[in-house]
Amino acid sequence: MTVAFRFQIADFRLAASALAALALIFAGCGEKKDASADANKAPAESPAASGVPAQPTPAKQAAKPIPPGPAEIWKEFSGERAFEEVRRQVEVGPRPAGTPELEKARVLIEDGLRRSGWEVERQTFTNETPRGPVQFVNVIGRFSASGQTPVPRDTQRAIVCSHYDTKRFSTIRFVGASDGASSTGALLELARVLALDPALAAKVELVFFDGEEAFVQFTGPLDLKPDGLFGSRYYATQLRDSKRAGQFRFGILWDMIGDRDLTITLPNDSPPDLTREVLASADALGLRQHFSKHERSILDDHEPLNMIARIPTIDLIDFDYPAWHTADDTLERLSPESLQKVGAITLHHLRQTLGK
């Protein structure tokens, strides 16, 4: 792969995206005490006078208390833990759609989600591709604050997502450390951290897309002969058709977020309000210098969410990555710090916008 080829492909993705856009115009319950147990003690002050909360009513005792979660939850995101998840993905080897290797990667994702208390749904579908029909599987994580199973599907207000497949090459061994594994591993760490605040976790849907990579050449989200973005097209269409799309306020896509030299190149068609909010979180954490605005749009998994499901979705992608789609996209190019920064900004934004 040469840099020239990289930009050729990029330009194609950008142009296709622009065309598609044009076409649309557009309580703690203390141990229950028996009163007689305190009979030989001094008369107790009334709860109001002592500042001690009144004893919970039986109804409150029956409800499972939801722990409040850390006040500064973004500080809980560990770059090192995220990096270990990334390593596990990379160690599977090349993971193109429809291969046994991608199934191994999928099992790692499912195990990680369940370990953190998330319910897992496999969204399986078959799509025609330039190489014939291929079966794809999106993995979706949902969380219940009260431990309810199955997890209700009407509490989620935001989507955080990543693709987990890697591009298929016959000439090089491509393991997609940043392009595929970085965002996938970081999303598993995000799942662990969100679970510390069950009320917040219940408002988030985590999605791992299959088939982001094109078999031959990317096409726009609304193309009738699609190539690439298979998982996100299907997921967005399901959201639209099931009428769940309306419950989501926004989406955040992570892609290629592991580069040591982190530069998030925000596509020029990023939803303005969402962009302002995310940049405010970056500012609040002193990380604004890692963001730049890309002069064009980038065809990626956020586009089907924006154009099919109509959910404003931002693509946090570091497209300024010389190892993109080369054999050099390996763990050595990545740093835990970059994963930590994107994780922290996202958590800060989720806390600001979705509250406690």
Give the interface with Zn ion as residue ranges (CB under 5 A).
167, 179
Name the minimum Å distance from CB 325 to Zn ion.
Answer: 6
Residues shown for the chain: 356
C-alpha separations of 54 from 30, 279, 332 in Å? 10, 44, 57
Q: Which is nearer to Zn ion, 209 or 235 (CB)?
A: 209
Could you tell me if 303 and 229 are in contact, meaning their C-beta atoms sit under 8 angstroms apart? yes
Residue 54: CB minimum distance to Zn ion, A: 58
Helices (H), the chain: 3-24, 47-50, 58-62, 79-91, 100-115, 183-194, 198-201, 230-241, 272-284, 302-307, 336-354
SS3 string, 318-354, reads CCCCCCCCCCCCCHHHECHHHHHHHHHHHHHHHHHHH
Min dist. Cβ of residue 166 to Zn ion (A): 7
The residue among 88 and 167 lying less far from Zn ion, judged by its C-beta, is: 167
Give the rounded distance of the alpha carbon of 246 from its chain centre.
19
For residues 144 and 148, give the distance between their C-alpha atoms in angstroms, rounded to a whole number. Answer: 6
Q: Can you give the C-alpha Rg of the chain in angstroms?
A: 23
* Shortest distance (Å) from residue 245 CB to Zn ion: 26
Residue closer to Zn ion (CB basis): 74 or 136: 136
- Which residues, in sequence order, are CB contacts of 133 under 8 Å at separation 6+? 126, 127
**Cβ distance to Zn ion smaller for residue 97 or 194:** 97
CB of 299 to Zn ion, least distance (A): 11
Residue nearest to Zn ion (CB): 179
Q: Measured from the CB atom, is 85 or 329 closer to Zn ion? A: 329
Which residue number, 179 or 227, has a Cβ lying nearer to Zn ion? 179
Please report how close the Cβ of residue 200 comes to Zn ion at its closest, in angstroms.
Answer: 30
